[in-house]
Amino acid sequence: MADYEEENSGIPLTIRSAHDGSCVPYLAVDFDGSPSGGEFPITRRVGDEDDLTTAQLEAIDMRYVTCADGFLKVADGASVGLLRKGEEDGWRKCAAAASGASIGGSLEITDDARPADVGFEVGASLCAVTAEGRIARATITNIVYNAGYGDSLATVEFELATWKRK
């Protein structure tokens, strides 16, 4: 495995319901994205994928899709896993969790789905090996239900760290 060096740490990242009553908009997450926004931000509200370039679509690692339920959906070709609370040191364990793709295709994080039962809780991390070869760790710092549209949809706050190949 290649050696990595820390690129970013302590980047605040929040996901919340992107829709306003319809099921169409979703929140796209690109762990390679820029914390300051621009053409490739870390998160973006997507109402119509036709408005995105091919490069923007290919950069998406996950989608937070909310309608009646809230799902974190892994983008095709992306490698994303869940690292349990207490296992968050360094990039190696995160890379291993991501390579195992432990959340499969999607993870329901609606309150009544009891996501903490599978380890989605404060202190756990979403880990990804990105399209650009970075390792990203988004550590959950807060989960609030009933904070957006719908009774049980989650608003989740993370602290993002990334590592790049040396």
Query: Taking residues 65-69, what's their average pLDDT?
Result: 83
- Please provide the average confidence, as pLDDT, over all residues in the chain: 88
Identify the pLDDT of residue 70.
Answer: 86
- Contact between 64 and 15 under an 8 Å Cβ cutoff? The reply is yes
In this structure, the strands spanning 43-46 and 26-29 are: antiparallel
pLDDT in tens, 34-57: 988 888 999 999 988 999 999 999
- Closest C-alpha among 41, 59, 64 to residue 120: 64
**Residue 22, pLDDT above cutoff 80:** no
**Residue 68, pLDDT above cutoff 90:** no
- Contact between 121 and 115 under an 8 Å Cβ cutoff? The reply is yes
pLDDT in tens, 91-143: 999 999 998 766 778 899 988 888 999 899 999 999 999 989 999 999 999 99
Identify the pLDDT of residue 149.
Answer: 61
The pLDDT-based confidence of 148 (bands split at 50, 70, 90) is low
